[in-house]
Chains A and B, each alone.
Chain A
């Protein structure tokens, strides 16, 4: 008797009691389905976060004032005032810093912007010309802040597309118009290309002004809120991080790196922190889903035990006529594997469909690694073996005459 014969016989027995078979697989369907859906959604959100962070460039380092804290808190920048425009210039010009390509000091604060008729609360970003290169900004029209603007603190502004539609309405070109920030009049000289923006913040809800103008004219500050640094390339990131660290420690007259009053992180650090969060979340949810899979497995075992008990006489007869243990085990294992495998495949389809619908609904890119599909199918088969093993053993070890006498 070969496997295919056993297989068809098992299919025959399973279709004899369709309702029971269906209910037995339901546990596995739900288990595998929820694991697949959650893993897939986790991967989708991870992909979305990664895409957003990576769009800024993988050779970007950010320096913010304030000591390194456990975890990653974006708002921490507001507190400390230890970084200056001079720090940024030193990073650009110092001969000790060899791996840095561009340095962009930034001063950022939210405030009210108005045209007289309409107003909006938006982020004012004081920047230098290198911002455009470092942060990959391109212009829809007009021009960006020039070195001269920074030198002479001109009152010019480049608007993000969100601000344009808030203040002037969609499709209007505001170049040449003027806006008021903190009651000071600025001339609009350009509009930034829309970058979209989901998650952390809307990258189009911003007004760029010269760094010195923001510091001196608007907010009366002599520090910067962050310095973005573009390294030469991705492979020198660690070296760049070290060079920046040593230079700033020296400039701030600090000896112990542990007492640093600034923090340097790369896009990968953010990515790492973000994926750690989504990863933990995914693991947690999948863990809960895996428990339902376990419960499904126990359901299979239960059904198989019932089947073995019901068919005690049949097993006794087969053994009496010469069936060896191996073939009885195979007969029952194949049945339980068919149950869990079918449940696994149906559950996988259901899980993928659920994840696809949900990720479409909340605007995530759909993602599912083939590995997790293979894993799910493998796991469902393994559950069949695992939870079918004991009932199959029990059947194989029945003594023929006792089994034949069972009623």
Chain B
């Protein structure tokens, strides 16, 4: 489903060059559940943005469902982000002064879903993440963990085949984090491809495969049982 070949991302600010990703190549098959781990600043989010068709690499090609993302127009990228990918941002990125319900419904607005259906579906997904009683709250009336769950609901609401989650449980208490993981597990069992970034090994354990990044390079790639063995 996903194929990255020799992906590099270099940020140039004035004269300072930051190599965020350095010649990364890997594949993700349809139906995989993968975790990306690595220290802060190792390039996890940068990689995720490229996989989510939100950003373009400086070098290398990214093939998603057989299409070279680097060659697509802005509007085609928007379409892909809308239909194929559910993205959970590390910083949530909810629309301020806008209710949780409307925030979750937003991707459906651009998919041309009718108003009633939008409302109904958004409600259902907010219930699923345990926020049934908070649908009318605006982001500044919600805790960090609640905001994160709104962001997750928004990523799932279009029923995308690929779910990219940047630290989806970073602000959530362990019990609720397990609930979120159960949802992800369930989606994965139903054939959705999931890639998530996490710091926490016990969350990463839910994934069948873990990639380790260090300074923009892949240092380890394998299923987590091997991983454990390596650690031991």
Contacts and interface: CB of A to CB of B under 8 A. Distances in A.
B87 A314 contact: no
B49 interface: yes
A257 B83 CA distance: 85
A400 B95 contact: no
A14 B147 CA distance: 26
Contacts of A401: 49, 54-55
B185 to A, nearest CB: 25
Interface stretch (A33-41, A135-143, A171-179, A315-323): A315-323
Given A322-B78, A324-B75, A325-B74, A404 B93 contact: yes
Contacts of A322: 78-79, 81-83, 107, 110-111
A318 B106 contact: yes
Contacts of B74: 324-325, 397
A326 B73 CA distance: 13
B39 interface: no
A320 B93 contact: yes
A327 to B, nearest CB: 7
A323 B93 contact: no
A160 to B, nearest CB: 76
Contact of A321 (B49, B55, B81): B81
B75 A321 contact: no
A1 interface: yes
Given A317-B95, A401-B49, A401-B55, A324 B78 contact: yes
Given A314-B95, A401-B49, A404-B93, A321 B110 contact: yes
Interface in B104-122: 106-107, 109-112, 115
Interface in B60-108: 74-75, 78-79, 81-83, 87, 89, 91, 93, 95, 97, 106-107
Interface string A369-402: 0000000000000000000000000000101110
A35 to B, nearest CB: 38
B78 A323 contact: yes
A1 B110 contact: yes
Q: Which of A320, A324, A327, A397 has the most CB of B within 10 A?
A: A320
Residue from A319, A321, A401, A404 whose CB has the most chain B CB atoms within 10 Å: A321
Contacts of A318: 106, 110
Nearest to B109: A1
Interface in A320-337: 320-327
A323 B110 contact: yes
A383 B116 CA distance: 36
Interface in B136-180: 154
Which of B74, B78, B107 has the largest number of chain A CB atoms within 10 A? B78
Given A325-B74, A400-B54, A401-B55, A320 B81 contact: yes
Interface string A338-372: 00000000000000000000000000000000000
Interface in B17-44: none
A282 B51 CA distance: 63
Nearest to B158: A322
Contacts of A16: 97
B83 A320 contact: no
Contacts of B54: 320, 400-401
Contacts of A400: 54-55, 81
Contacts of B82: 321-322
Contacts of B55: 399-401
A397 B95 CA distance: 19
Contacts of B87: 320
Contacts of A317: 93, 95
Contacts of A399: 55
Nearest to B82: A322
Nearest to A2: B112
A5 B54 CA distance: 26
Nearest to B115: A5
Contacts of A325: 74-75, 78
Given A1-B110, A317-B93, A319-B78, 10 more contacts: A313-B93, A317-B95, A320-B54, A320-B87, A320-B93, A321-B107, A322-B107, A322-B111, A324-B78, A401-B49
20 contacts: A5-B109, A16-B97, A314-B95, A319-B78, A320-B93, A321-B81, A321-B107, A322-B78, A322-B81, A322-B83, A322-B107, A322-B111, A324-B79, A397-B74, A399-B55, A400-B54, A400-B55, A400-B81, A401-B54, A401-B55
